[in-house]
Amino acid sequence: MSYRCRICQSPVLPFMSFGRMPIANAFLRSKAEFETEYFYELKPALCPVCKCFQIVEIPRPEQMFHDHYAYFASTSAVMSRHFAAMAEDLKKRYMTGPDCFVTEIGSNDGITLQNFARDKTRHLGIEPSANVAEAARAKGVQTLNAFFGVETAKQIVAEHGNADLFIATNTMHHIEDINAVAAGVDILLKPTGVMIQEDPYLGDMVEDCAYDQVYAEHMYIWSITALNNAFGRHGLEVFHVEHNDHHGGCMRYHLGRKGQRPSSPELAAALAKEQQLGLDRAETYVRFKQRCEESRDRLMSLIDGYKKQGKRVAGYGATAKSATVINWCGITPGHLDWIQDSTPAKQNTFAPGSHIPVVAPEHFRANPPDAAVLFAWNHFKEIDAKEVAWRKAGGKWIMPVRKVEVV
């Protein structure tokens, strides 16, 4: 089958396949749903022209983002603090004029915009998943329940005027039609407006072989080079970047209208590192495929080792990214008795594809396993601090990606 790049329409060829995959956040509420479960083949590719890392087959947006979306960003206190700090930094950098207006796509449960609503800054979230949008409104965050695109941008300008700031954290890899988003940003932003994008960085994923960031919602994993190619077509460019270690390594991109702001030294250094990592070269992903296979085999040998000793193994954190690990590695209810998760919407369901039961943290307390695969490894510090008693009693984490090991 032939595929074309979603950004520049050039022919693209997948460099590997993670095989038959369910929708990452499509937790099943009953066994009756097993027989109609949706699967697709998860195949990543790098566009040889615009250098965009993307997956070539994806479910329809409505299948992923709807009125029972499973991810509530505010489940993490660490991420709540992270986005509160980001909001204060952006106010100082870009919102010093009178009557500023800030917009955010993927505003989810208001984790970021609540920091603007609190000081009565004009704001608007654009969030297509109705349940999380409702949670945002409950916090006093103005939220439009819609998918962002050109028409939504025009509607917002007509009703609210142009924006000083357009924020998209952990969202720009969720939207198939990036050209429509970029065109929408060009319509929505004031002439001196700034777009802030932050999401898992291709450099970290490749360097650490954190392949679990690849799943249906994450139809792109961005690099600076690819983002500049995608937004350059709409008169926008990256002028500054900031790297952080959240979600296994994220890049925060500051974009403005071309030629409007000087490029920062941090941008030059990050671009040089992209060249050194070979993010734009096909051979990098030939090696990436080999490392994914080695990672899979290592994880299964660790889990099988515990099972052969008659030990009990569970999962911790029914993350979206765990769907890739579980279904790529072939992890079944025979390997993991259950997966605990603090999100009520995920509890008492079955994990996508594997149908491993998802249970509440209380179940973990009442039935402590010998080891737990930490699917929410990106929250290690926050979680390890919560489970001190279990750890003192000998509980071990099995780290599923990056350095696959028992800690």
386 makes contact with ligand DWN (CB under 6 A)? yes
Quick one: 169 or 229, whose CB is closer to ligand SAH? 169
- Residue 339 CA, distance from chain mean position: 20
Residue span 157-196 as binding mask against ligand DWN, x where in contact by CB under 6 A, dash where not: -------------x--------------------------
Picking from 242, 251, 246, the residue whose alpha carbon sits closest to that of residue 379 is 246
Quick one: 132 or 216, whose CB is closer to ligand SAH? 132
Q: Decide if 140 contacts 123 (C-beta within 8 A).
A: no
Which of ligand DWN, ligand SAH, none has residue 141 at its interface (CB below 5 to 8 Å by kind)?
Answer: none
Comparing every residue's Cβ against ligand SAH, the nearest one is: 106
Report the run of H or E that residue 304 belongs to, with start and end. Answer: helix 282-308
318 makes contact with ligand DWN (CB under 6 A)? yes
Q: Decide if 203 contacts 244 (C-beta within 8 A).
A: no
Longest dimension (CA), the chain: 66
Q: How many residues bind ligand DWN (CB under 6 A)?
A: 20
Picking from 40, 50, 39, 42, the residue whose alpha carbon sits closest to that of residue 12 is 50
147 makes contact with ligand SAH (CB under 6 A)? yes
For 345, the token pair is 């919407």
Which of ligand SAH, ligand DWN, none has residue 132 at its interface (CB below 5 to 8 Å by kind)?
Answer: ligand SAH
127 makes contact with ligand SAH (CB under 6 A)? yes
174 makes contact with ligand SAH (CB under 6 A)? yes
71 makes contact with ligand SAH (CB under 6 A)? yes
For 90, the token pair is 């952006």
230 makes contact with ligand SAH (CB under 6 A)? no
Residue 8 burial by Cβ neighbours in a 10 Å radius (0-12, 13-18, 19+): middle
What secondary structure does DSSP assign to 28-52, as a single string?
BSSGGGGGG--EEE--EEE-TTT--
Strand 250-257 with 313-316, pairing: unpaired
> Where do contacts with ligand SAH occur on this chain (CB under 6 A)?
65, 69, 71, 73, 105-106, 108, 111, 126-129, 132, 147-148, 169-171, 174-175
> Where do contacts with ligand DWN occur on this chain (CB under 6 A)?
71, 75-76, 170, 217, 317-321, 341-343, 346, 376, 378-379, 382-383, 386
